Amino acid sequence: MTAVLLALAAALSFAIATVMQHRGAADTAPDGVGSTRMLGPLLRRPAWLIGQATAGLGFVLHGAALRGGLVVIVQPLLSSGLVLTLALGALVDRRYPGRPLPGRAQWTAAGVVAVGLALFATTARPTSGRASAPTALLAACVIASLLVAVAAHLWGRHPGATHRATVFGVATGVGFAITGLLLKELVGLPPGSWATTWTTPALLLTGGVSVLMAQRAYQAGPLVESVPVMAVLEPVVASALAYPLYGERLAPGLLAHTAQTLGALMLVVGLVWLARRSAGSEQPNATEGGFQRPLSA
């Protein structure tokens, strides 16, 4: 239960950070949007700076949730951040008549996500698994995620490449999923060994590449082309690897598996629906968009 509460607190922190960063960026002078000139004005906005600090708090809470909880539960719960972002953004935007508010379809999608999460979380009842993953297998996952990022980069460089935003979104979702698994590994080690273990540089590299891929995705096209695939791949990939890496098994039985599958499907469909609706109402510019993903994995 503690891990669940920590995961929800992390999701709330990331939601608050997203709303504050987005609103700070949206209020910045238009001629600075999408360029490095925007950084100076943003650094002078307390709300944006608080958003950055809140994102850092979310990362710490995420690590704490993974230290005491299971990947297969914690990672899907972080998806609730998209629902919380929608709700918090609506509360903030009510003060600004010119900003669009979420419609019925968005709230319906948010409800589907919430029900799917609740159904999956209550029927998963996974076994505890092991605290540490096989080094070779975890390293293979890191290499695979980096290869996906390299492939996306090469695809994006091709003059006639299509669906570039989606391809970069795939690399982002996979990268953040592996970053979460590395975070699970790191927090399971004694803090004194963090400076010497290979997991730390792997975490920084994978997380940094994922942030870069996210920015490339935002720049390559409208958010609606990249955000849905990011929102879905991160929890799906991490949960799928939870068993081979950490031995986390879901509760057995036909009834349990049916409920778990239904909950997972509702989560995926709701996330895609909500992400497409929400991203479709945002500006396609990378820096201004409301879905900049902090390094949370």
- Between 140 and 211, where is the model more confident? 140
At 23, list the tokens. Answer: 């609103």
Residue 47 lies in a domain: yes
Cα angle, residue 238 at apex, residues 132 and 296 outer, rounded to 5°:
90
Q: What is the pLDDT of residue 70?
A: 92
Which pLDDT value is given to residue 204?
Answer: 95
Q: How confident is the model at residue 92 (pLDDT cuts 50, 70, 90)?
A: low
User: pLDDT-derived band of residue 51, with 50, 70 and 90 as boundaries?
Assistant: confident
Question: What's the pLDDT at 61?
Answer: 94
What pLDDT was estimated at residue 40? 63
- Residues whose CB falls within 8 Å of the CB of residue 156, separated by 6 or more in sequence, listed in order: 164, 167, 168, 216, 220
Res 284: pLDDT: 44
Distance CA 225, CA 183 (A): 28
Report the pLDDT value the prediction gives residue 31, as an integer from 0 to 100. Answer: 46
pLDDT above 90: percentage of residues in the chain: 40
Lowest-pLDDT range of 1-5, 196-200, 225-229, 279-283: 279-283
Structural domain includes residue 262: yes
Residue 95 domain flag: yes
- Amino acid identity for residue 93 in this structure: D
Contact 81, 12 (CB under 8 A): yes
- The number of distinct structural domains making up the chain is 1
Q: What is the pLDDT of residues 59-78, one digit of tens each?
A: 999 999 999 889 999 999 98
Percent of the chain with pLDDT over 70: 81
Query: Is residue 287 very low, low, confident or very high in pLDDT (cuts 50, 70, 90)?
Result: very low
158: its two tokens: 């091709």
26-30, 162-166, 252-256, 292-296: which range is least confident on average? 292-296
Task: Tell which wins on pLDDT, 118 or 34.
Answer: 118
Task: Evaluate if residue 133 carries a pLDDT over 70.
Answer: yes
Name residue 84's amino acid: L
Q: In this structure, is residue 255 part of a structural domain?
A: yes
The mean pLDDT of the chain is 82
- Indicate the pLDDT class of residue 42, thresholds 50, 70 and 90: low
Its domain, for residue 266, covers: 2-280
Euclidean distance between CA atoms 228 and 292, whole angstroms: 13
Going 38 to 281 to 213 to 245, the CA torsion angle's sign is: positive
CA gap 151, 145 in Å, rounded: 10
Q: CB count, 10 Å around CB of 5?
A: 13
Work out the average pLDDT over 215-239. Answer: 84
| pLDDT in the model for residue 247 | 92
Whether 6 is covered by a domain: the verdict is yes
Choose between 287 and 267: higher pLDDT.
267
Written as one string, the DSSP assignment of the chain is: -HHHHHHHHHHHHHHHHHHHHHHHHHTS-GGGTTSGGGHHHHHT-HHHHHHHHHHHHHHHHHHHHHHHS-HHHHHHHHTHHHHHHHHHHHHHHTT-TTSPPP-HHHHHHHHHHHHHHHHHHHHH------SS--HHHHHHHHHHHHHHHHHHHHHHHSTT--SHHHHHHHHHHHHHHHHHHHHHHHHTS-GGGTTTSTHHHHHHHHHHHHHHHHHHHHHHS-GGGTHHHHHHHHHHHHHHHHHHHH---PPPSHHHHHHHHHHHHHHHHHHHHHHHHHHHTS-S-TTT-TTPPPS--
Tokens of 271: 């996330």
User: Mean pLDDT across the stretch 115-138?
Assistant: 90
- Does residue 35 lie in a domain region? yes
d(CA 34, CA 25): 10
In a domain, 252, yes or no: yes
* Mean pLDDT, residues 264-280 taken together: 82
296 inside domain: no
